[in-house]
Amino acid sequence: MTDWTITTLGGAIAGRQVSPVEVTRECLERIARLDAKIRSFITVDAEGALATARELEAELAAGLSRGPFHGVPLAYKDLCHVRGLPTSCGTATREYFSAEHECTAVNRLREAGAVTLGKLNMTELALGPFGDNAHHGDVQNPWCPGHVAGGSSSGSAAAVAAGFALGALGSDTGGSIRLPAACCGVVGLKPTYGRVSRAGVMPLSWSLDHIGPLTRTVADAALLLGIIAGHDPRDATSSRRGVPYYERLLDTPVEGLRVGLPANYFFDGLDAAVDAAVRAAARILEGLGAEIVSVRVPDPRPVVDVSNVIARAESAAVHARIARERPHELQPAVRARLEVGFHLTAHDYLQALRLRTRYARAFVAEVFAEVDALLAPVIPEPAPALDAVKAGTVDEVVMRMGRFSRLTRPFNGLGLPALSVPCGFSADGRPLALQVVGRPFDEATVLRLGHAYERATDWITRRPALA
């Protein structure tokens, strides 16, 4: 199971070399055997998964294939409303969130033939970058137990890294797909704002929320994005732009692409191993024909301030009920972050929304006049120890959260597509990652660069040593 990717498994199922029931059973057996240590799942739907796999197997026997996801086992962050399963959103409440209709992204994958294994652990209310959870257990990093898996889509990244699922969906409001992908050595894509519908997903901050894939390879992320992207009448912010066949564009050479390495902000105060790995990745892309240039980007700090105001105000509005009626149920750092939103004014919030427009316009115009994409780190240091990030006062924990997500947060405010790709390991074996950022709706170039880099290295062939 740990050697398959969505691409190879989909081909093997279509070629009748392996059956949907076999691979589903193998995933479920692996989860049952190993997830007590990792804590990546909140709900495992063994019965439902096997029933779906049997139906899909019968379809194949009748000569019907739904395409590359036919019979492929996936799992979803526990803030997606999935038919028949509870959605805790990482809280102590079993059914914290529900929606009239199933999450659109999940439903599109279901229609494409994916098997739903279950719902994945996450930071409570998606409010935190480390993946610790007092109610459902801290998600452990499969590469280095005792260290964070990253958050908030902690279970999504850990489950893919551990070989429990071939792919997963996560959500990203300030880095929540890319941070866990980086910590766990898998691929994670935050698409452009509006590229993927958020209908049927618990909102945290509707101006900054994005849904996207976590997979073992960039090619798998491209395939998955191709299914979930596109307009959805249930999400007014979803774009009507056409959806390219991303997977068909992956092998277009990167020769001639201008790729920027930011001269300011993104390399300040980095761990030395992270700094070296990202610069080495740039040299590899240069060797493949991309032109690497140093660029000074508009200062991202105002965008981070603006995003913080928007995120705090909107999340406090969305989660006012639990914060006011049952605050004792929330973890202290989560409660503290919600609390701030109750005291910001309408004036602050509206000015932040207006400022966001100005910064997005300036960033896109200035940066993408010079380059086709940016390269940056995702995490400022390799996955820290769980005990270390939870230690100290609530103030210290909240400050740590802000520092850890400072390299991803700007691109939520700007709405730009951003991909996390594994780019090595620290001396003690913790994954490192590269962030590729593109112009609006140009996921194709971002994926193309990530794929070219991935093919030129062997990082994705390594697997964490689980029993």
Partner 1 sequence: MLSFRPHTRMSEPGRRERVDVADLAAAIERLAADLALAEEPSGFTVVLESDPDMREQRD
176 is catalytic: yes
Candidates 152, 156, 238, 307; catalytic one: 152
Instruction: Report the nearest approach of partner 1 to the CB of residue 311 (Å).
Output: 10
User: How many Cβ atoms sit within 10 Å of the Cβ of residue 393?
Assistant: 11
Q: In this complex, which beta carbon is closest to partner 1, that of residue 83 or of residue 361?
A: 361
**Where does residue 410 rank: exposed (0-12), middle (13-18), buried (19+ CB within 10 A)?**
buried
Give the binding range for partner 1 (CB under 8 A) out of 14-22, 28-36, 127-135, 188-196: 188-196
Among 12, 34, 46, 340, contact with partner 1 (rule: CB under 8 A): 340
Contact (CB, 8 A) for 452 and 204: no
Could you say which DSSP state residue 376 is in? E
Candidates 77, 153, 154, 207; catalytic one: 77
Residue in the structure block whose two tokens are 């096997």:
50
Give the binding range for partner 1 (CB under 8 A) out of 94-102, 167-175, 272-280, 356-364: 356-364
Q: In this complex, which beta carbon is closest to partner 1, that of residue 163 or of residue 194?
A: 194
Instruction: Report the nearest approach of partner 1 to the CB of residue 170 (Å).
Output: 21
294 is catalytic: no
The amino acid that residue 45 corresponds to is D
Q: Is residue 439 within the footprint of partner 1 (CB under 8 A)? A: yes
Question: Mapping DSSP to helix (H, G, I), strand (E, B) and coil, where does residue 125 land?
Answer: helix
Give the closest residue to 388 by CA, choosing from 375, 373, 403: 403
Q: Is residue 358 within the footprint of partner 1 (CB under 8 A)? A: yes
Give the binding range for partner 1 (CB under 8 A) out of 122-130, 192-200, 276-284, 289-297: 192-200
User: How far is residue 308 from each of residues 31, 41, 130, measured CA to CA in Å?
Assistant: 36, 29, 18
Instruction: Report how far Cα 103 is from the mean position of its chain's Cα atoms.
Output: 16
Tokens of 377: 């780190």
Q: Is residue 242 within the footprint of partner 1 (CB under 8 A)? A: no
Instruction: Report the nearest approach of partner 1 to the CB of residue 260 (Å).
Output: 12
Q: Is residue 291 within the footprint of partner 1 (CB under 8 A)? A: no
Q: Is residue 389 within the footprint of partner 1 (CB under 8 A)? A: no
**Helix 20-38 with 154-161: angle, nearest 10 deg:** 120
Candidates 176, 207, 239, 405; catalytic one: 176
Longest dimension (CA), the chain: 61
Kindly state the number of chain residues that form the binding site for partner 1, as judged by CB under 8 A. Answer: 50
- The span from the CA of 375 to the CA of 297, in Å, is 12
Instruction: Report the nearest approach of partner 1 to the CB of residue 199 (Å).
Output: 17
Give the binding range for partner 1 (CB under 8 A) out of 138-146, 173-181, 234-242, 378-386: 234-242
Radius of gyration of the chain (CA): 20
Q: Is residue 391 within the footprint of partner 1 (CB under 8 A)? A: no
- The span from the CA of 87 to the CA of 107, in Å, is 15
Q: Is residue 241 within the footprint of partner 1 (CB under 8 A)? A: yes
User: How far is residue 336 from each of residues 343, 389, 394, measured CA to CA in Å?
Assistant: 12, 16, 8
Instruction: Report the nearest approach of partner 1 to the CB of residue 367 (Å).
Output: 9
CA dihedral sign, ordered 332, 337, 338, 341: positive
Q: Is residue 357 within the footprint of partner 1 (CB under 8 A)? A: yes
Instruction: Report the nearest approach of partner 1 to the CB of residue 457 (Å).
Output: 27
Give the binding range for partner 1 (CB under 8 A) out of 122-130, 156-164, 186-194, 223-231: 186-194
Q: In this complex, which beta carbon is closest to partner 1, that of residue 191 or of residue 431?
A: 191
Q: Is residue 296 within the footprint of partner 1 (CB under 8 A)? A: no
Q: Is residue 352 within the footprint of partner 1 (CB under 8 A)? A: yes
Contact (CB, 8 A) for 80 and 42: no
CA dihedral 70, 71, 77, 79 (to 10 degrees): 70
390 is catalytic: no
Q: Is residue 308 within the footprint of partner 1 (CB under 8 A)? A: yes
Give the binding range for partner 1 (CB under 8 A) out of 68-76, 169-177, 216-224, 369-377: 369-377
Number of C-alpha atoms within 13 angstroms, CB side, residue 232?
23
Contact (CB, 8 A) for 423 and 277: yes
Contact (CB, 8 A) for 225 and 191: yes
Contact (CB, 8 A) for 184 and 143: yes
Instruction: Report the nearest approach of partner 1 to the CB of residue 332 (Å).
Output: 11
Catalytic residues: 77, 152, 176
Task: Give me the residues that bind partner 1 (CB under 8 A), please.
Answer: 192-194, 237, 239, 241, 258, 302, 305-306, 308-309, 312, 323-325, 327, 335-336, 338-340, 342-345, 348, 350-358, 360-361, 364, 368-370, 372, 394-395, 398, 415, 439-441
